[in-house]
Structure 1
Amino acid sequence: MRAVTITSFGGPDALTVADLPVPEPGDGEVRVRVLAAAVHPLDVVARSGFLGPMLPAGPRYVLGADVVGTVDAVAPDVRGFSVGQRVVGMSNWPDTKRGTQSEYVVLPADVLALAPAASDPAAAATLPLNALTALQGIDLLALPAGSTLAVTGAAGGVGGFALELARLRGLKTVGIAGPKDESFVTERGATFVARSEDVAAAVRSVVPDGVDGLLDAAAIGAPALGAVRDDGAYTGVTPPFPPPGERGVRTAVVFARGIGEQLAELVALVDKGELTLRTPRTFSFERAGEAHGALAEGGTRGGVVLTP
């Protein structure tokens, strides 16, 4: 099978398409024939060699966490999936190094869910990591209904899902994004705040007492804490450590995990029209370097996806 791999660290030219054996599913596992696999900053960081001891140099690594495809083989002990079904899933890649940017991938059944019923595979491939990060990040904030949540990077992959998920939980939302994304933010029921160098002051211009919680999808870090009221909560999206708390503000960082049950809930919201998928830029495996370049340039609001 063809797969997007690295054997050494560097720029986009470090990516190669290699021919590897088709993997066999073990106990509790499903083999998926890949239709689309998203590219995320994690892939860029891994390719560049910035994961340190998490990613020793030398072996061949297949990149990718998100996948949409069809079930190709199922271990005898797996229930709930059968050959031919279209599924969506998220590999817990930092732990397993099972990359999804290949023609086939074997994953535990418990990180998979049936794919959105009427969605294009490339669009659906942008759901798992982004939406699970948003969902699990909001969970860490533990805000009661009626609270106010600010989201930095509100027009990005994580931020866009966060606005919708927060609204479904009865939270009032403030979305921080660039001026060209104002309509995107307001259409999702959020108060728009234009991105600025002083994000705390910008947020407090509309919420003078500070917001109850902040999901930092833009990875601003410590400078964003000033937007949060005393004894509020902050969740970042860049492991391993959040900024130190201040004024009683609780700080945490979300390290998204592939959880099939949560993913199934998110798919149900997509099918009901309550969670919005966007159209990504798509590239073939052979153009993976271009895909990495497009992601690094930023502004790809629908995400970047590879197709075999």
Structure 2
Amino acid sequence: MMERYGGPDELTLGEHPDPKVAPGEVLVRVKAAGINPVDWKIGAGYLDGLMEVRFPLIPGWDISGVVEAVGLDVDEFAVGDEVIGYVRKDQVELGAYAELVAANVRLLARKPAALDWAQAAGLPLAGLTAYQSLRRVGARDGDVVLIHAAAGGVGSLGTQLAVASGARVIGTASERNHDFLRELGAEPVPYGEGLVERVRDIAPGGVDAALDFVGGDAVEVSRQVVRDPARIASITDPEVAESGGQYVWVRPSVADLTDLARLADEGKLTVHVDKVLPLAEAAEAWRLSQDGRTRGKLVLSVA
């Protein structure tokens, strides 16, 4: 938990009263919690103008776990059910880095049997971000899709989802991640200077859609290679909308999360977990996330 805004050093392991379980909610015994860059950005105060944050703050939005109790008027889940959730509440306070989390049923789906607890905890936010971004650009069978940061947490899931839809994927990544992207079904290209030319070499006619999961010059590069600027989506640059593109801020959706779980159970989607750390090492997980070299997901083991 955190007593004030700050960096990883402000994260401490502490005791907090068990959360209350309101009508329409369940209490989840957390097995694992996913790490996302938004966690440390909130902790640093970068989103203070957007979100109501209360201290002491328990960060985190992604969970996998077992239902321990159900609130009034809940028939969607029963005690003992295995669930996953993108547990983003109206106020940022009682988050996922905890043994117990109270969550509204509209934020939860059943855990895919094909994923272990760590993989399942890495799926919700990143998977929903990738899924909703692809939907916003209308990615479909036969499209050529450019994915920036294709080996990261969101990008690796977006790559698999695009391939599963029948799209041809060109993915940017460092050289060390190129074999990984090939395993996911993408054609890797190094990012950096000359990227536009490298993409054109692979796709001389341009690409149908582009997804920016990294920032920097990704949107500008995309504008130079995509045929329709309305089919550019970014999760980092709100100004993309000024040129007709799509800015995506992931939304909780039981339907979308359930579909992701189904794809995992059908063998069309998996979650690559780069590293699992114990809850007590959440600060180190934040440092690794800030370093920006993670392949796939970082996850905290809670129970």
Normalised TM-score (structure 2): 0.92
The whole-number CA distance in structure 1 between the counterparts of 2:21 and 2:237 is 30
Deviation at 1:112, TM superposition (A): 0.7
The SS at the match of 1:226 is: helix
Higher mean displacement: 193-202 or 292-301: 193-202
1:126-159: CA deviation from partner (whole Å, max 9, x where unpaired): 1111111000000110234322111011111111
Contact 1:31-1:73 within 8 A present in 2 as well: yes
The whole-number CA distance in structure 2 between the counterparts of 1:306 and 1:186 is 27
1:162 match? 158
Q: Which amino acid aligns with 1:53?
A: G
2:275 match? 281
Q: Summarize the alignment of residues 84-233 of structure 1 with structure 2, pairs less than 5 Å apart.
A: 84-93=80-89, 95-97=90-92, 98-220=94-216, 221-224=218-221, 225-231=223-229, 233=231
Alpha-carbon distance change, 259 to 230 in structure 1, aligned in 2, over 3 angstroms: closer
1:55-104: CA deviation from partner (whole Å, max 9, x where unpaired): 567632210010001001112312221101111100124x3324111111
Alpha-carbon distance change, 118 to 191 in structure 1, aligned in 2, over 3 angstroms: closer
Alpha-carbon distance change, 45 to 146 in structure 1, aligned in 2, over 3 angstroms: same
In angstroms, what is the RMSD of aligned CA positions? 1.9
Deviation at 1:242, TM superposition (A): 2.7
1:237-263: CA deviation from partner (whole Å, max 9, x where unpaired): 126443632xxxx31111112212211
Higher mean displacement: 287-296 or 65-74: 287-296
The whole-number CA distance in structure 2 between the counterparts of 1:77 and 1:57 is 28
Q: Between the two proteins, what is the percent identity of the paired residues?
A: 34
The SS at the match of 2:169 is: strand
The whole-number CA distance in structure 1 between the counterparts of 2:30 and 2:228 is 47
2:72 match? 76
Structure 2 gap segments, 5+ residues each: none
Q: Which amino acid aligns with 1:86?
A: E
Return the match for 1:303 from 277, 297, 300: 297
Alpha-carbon distance change, 57 to 237 in structure 1, aligned in 2, over 3 angstroms: closer
Residue 267 of structure 2 is aligned to residue 270 of structure 1: no
Number of residue pairs matched?
299
Q: Which amino acid aligns with 1:252?
A: Q
Alpha-carbon distance change, 100 to 226 in structure 1, aligned in 2, over 3 angstroms: same
Q: Which amino acid aligns with 1:223?
A: E
Contact 1:12-1:292 within 8 A present in 2 as well: yes
Residue 45 of structure 2 is aligned to residue 49 of structure 1: yes
Structure 1 gap segments, 5+ residues each: none
1:164-205: CA deviation from partner (whole Å, max 9, x where unpaired): 111222222111111122222222222222222343232122
Return the match for 1:32 from 21, 28, 35: 28
Return the match for 1:18 from 10, 14, 17: 14
